[in-house]
Amino acid sequence: MSAQTLDTPTGAPTKVVAPIAWKYPIVYSVLALIALIFFGLIGRAGDTTFRIATGGDFFAIPDLVVSAKATGLVLSLILVVMAAVSIWFATRRDDLGSWFPVTFGIVFVLSFLAWAGGGSGGVIPLTTLLAGALALSVPLIFGAMCGLIGERSGIINIAIEGQLLAGAFLAAVVASVVKNPYAGLLAAPIAGALVAVVLTFFAVKYWVNQIIIGVVLNVLVVGLTNFLYSTVLTENPELWNSRQKLPNLPIPLLSDIPILGRVLFDQNILVYIMYVVVIALQIFVFRSKWGLRMRAVGEHPKAADTVGIKVNFTRVRNTIMAGAIAGLGGAFFTVGSGLAFGKEMSAGQGYIALAAMILGKWNPKGALFAALLFGFSKSLGNTLQSIGTPVPNELLLMLPYIVTILAVAGFVGRVRPPAAEGVPYVKS
């Protein structure tokens, strides 16, 4: 609520002042206190080693060895200062911008890492941690983009899970038969799009509840791929399911940047496609005729129809295209990671992609960061499990799900889905 004037019954306008938004300062303060007490004051003795270099670096950066307790103390004091700043800004009713939570999050994670690495003598491989985070995020990002296009057009797509799995399956099989990973890359979108065809067929033609079809399609794809895996693929794995890996294509110069360069620009083509898809969607959803029509159809189909937009055609076309994107994401499980197809290898990632989309408020950029958050926390869980820390791995892995629930419940900011999603459009 911004400041505005209201007419009181007496007729004299009174100025209404927006209440102070205490939510974020409280969250920051609590987190800063946790960091100060646990990572700083109580702390753990010993040193924490941050390993930045990886094996094939051009020039090796030495490991960063710091005292766990001192680092924790310094970083948590920074957090306390930041929390104080947020309180000051809140009382002035000022906005802090989006860099503030990001910085706060990074410092908090670093202070946590300094604490977690101490004592155990473990080495925290920063580059591996970040590379793992990106790798775990790739299918999520593709899936979230798919869900976003569907829902912006008014079709709820719960079948992302099935589309990822179908994409992974077909990519593995085609790549294996043709003996070329890039062939798998071409096949994966077809699989995802096929699932979307069934989805839209039932949703648009027969008006079946879209969540129901989505759930059932997921089961169907699991059943089909499991069945084919157990019969055809296992009978002759050399032909049908041999491993094919997309080669890494390092981008000159950019990939030589320490840490981030290695993580972001020494990847296979699928990851570069992902960058393009996200950037393109961020532009096209909000600044193109296609995007405007898509949002119109998803928000107010009747109005869109009135001005001559073919509502159902737009929905079907967009959802099928989105399915192709999700199929590409599925290819990352197999040809993207150099693995053979395995039963149910999407392992619920499609549902997480759905959550990332909602957490990102149906924006490509937001969904990207939400998916990265999921990927990072999972990668963090894996890393900490391997070095052994006092925090149970499972509790860490739960974190993104809890964050999503809090987000959906409105604690992180209210989310509003497209108004007409899930409602079949019937011309009357």
Partner 1 sequence: MTTDISPAAPSPAPPPTAEAKPGRQQTLIQEILSGSWLVTVLAIVLALLVGGVLIAFANAEVIAAARNFFSAPGAFFSTVFSTVGDAYSALFRGAIFDWNARTPERAIRPLTESLVNGTPLILTGLGIALAFRSGLFNIGGQGQVILGATVAGFLGYALSLPPIVHMLIAAVGGIIGGAIWAGIAGVLKARTGANEVIVTIMLNSIAGYLLGYLLKQSWFTHTQSANPQSRTIDESAQMFLLLPLPFRLNFGFILAILATIFVWWLLERSTIGFEFKAVGANPHAARTAGISVAKVTVLVMVIAGGLAGLAGATQVLGTEDKLTGGIAGSIGFDAITVALLGRSKPLGTFFAGLLFGAFKAGGYLMQSQTGTPIDIVLVVQSVIVLLIAAPPLVRTIFHLPAPVLKRKES
CB nearer partner 1, residue 74 or residue 228: 228
Minimum gap (Å) between residue 207 Cβ and partner 1:
5
- Confirm or reject binding of residue 367 to partner 1 (CB under 8 A): no
- Do the bridges between strand 13-16 and strand 4-7 make them parallel or antiparallel, or are there none, so unpaired? antiparallel
Among 274, 358, 368, 384, binds partner 1 (CB under 8 A): 358
Draw the binding track, 108-147, toward partner 1 (x: CB under 8 A; -: no contact): ----------------------------------------
- Confirm or reject binding of residue 222 to partner 1 (CB under 8 A): yes
Query: Rule CB under 8 A: which of 178-207 touch partner 1?
Result: 198, 202, 206-207
- Confirm or reject binding of residue 342 to partner 1 (CB under 8 A): no
Among 105, 239, 398, 413, binds partner 1 (CB under 8 A): 398
Helix (H) or strand (E) holding 250: strand 248-250
188 contacts 171 by C-beta, under 8 angstroms: yes
- Confirm or reject binding of residue 259 to partner 1 (CB under 8 A): no
Minimum gap (Å) between residue 348 Cβ and partner 1:
7
Sole residue written with tokens 């995007």: 291
Using DSSP, state whether 13 is helix, strand or coil.
strand
Look up residue 21 and give its two tokens.
Answer: 């938004």
140 contacts 352 by C-beta, under 8 angstroms: yes
φ and ψ of 250, to 5 deg: -65, 135
Cross-strand pairs, 15 = 5
- Confirm or reject binding of residue 228 to partner 1 (CB under 8 A): yes
d(CA 229, CA 240): 9
- Total length of the chain: 428
Q: Which of 399, 13, 307, 323 is nearest to 165 (CA)?
A: 323
Draw the binding track, 9-48, toward partner 1 (x: CB under 8 A; -: no contact): ----------------------------------------
340 contacts 242 by C-beta, under 8 angstroms: yes
Sole residue written with tokens 């890494």: 248
d(CA 288, CA 311): 17
Count the residues of the shown chain that bind partner 1, applying the rule CB under 8 A: 49
CB nearer partner 1, residue 182 or residue 351: 351
Instruction: Please identify, among the stretches 11-19, 87-95, 293-301, 348-356, the one whose residues bind partner 1 according to the rule CB under 8 A.
Output: 348-356
CB nearer partner 1, residue 85 or residue 216: 216
Cross-strand pairs, 248 = 268
Using DSSP, state whether 141 is helix, strand or coil.
helix
d(CA 227, CA 201): 24
Minimum gap (Å) between residue 307 Cβ and partner 1:
23
CB nearer partner 1, residue 105 or residue 392: 392
CB nearer partner 1, residue 199 or residue 264: 199
- Which stretches of the chain bind partner 1, using CB under 8 A? 156, 158, 198, 202, 206-209, 211-213, 215-217, 219-220, 222-224, 226-228, 230-232, 235, 348, 351-352, 354-355, 358, 392, 394-395, 397-398, 401-402, 404-405, 408-410, 417, 421-423, 426
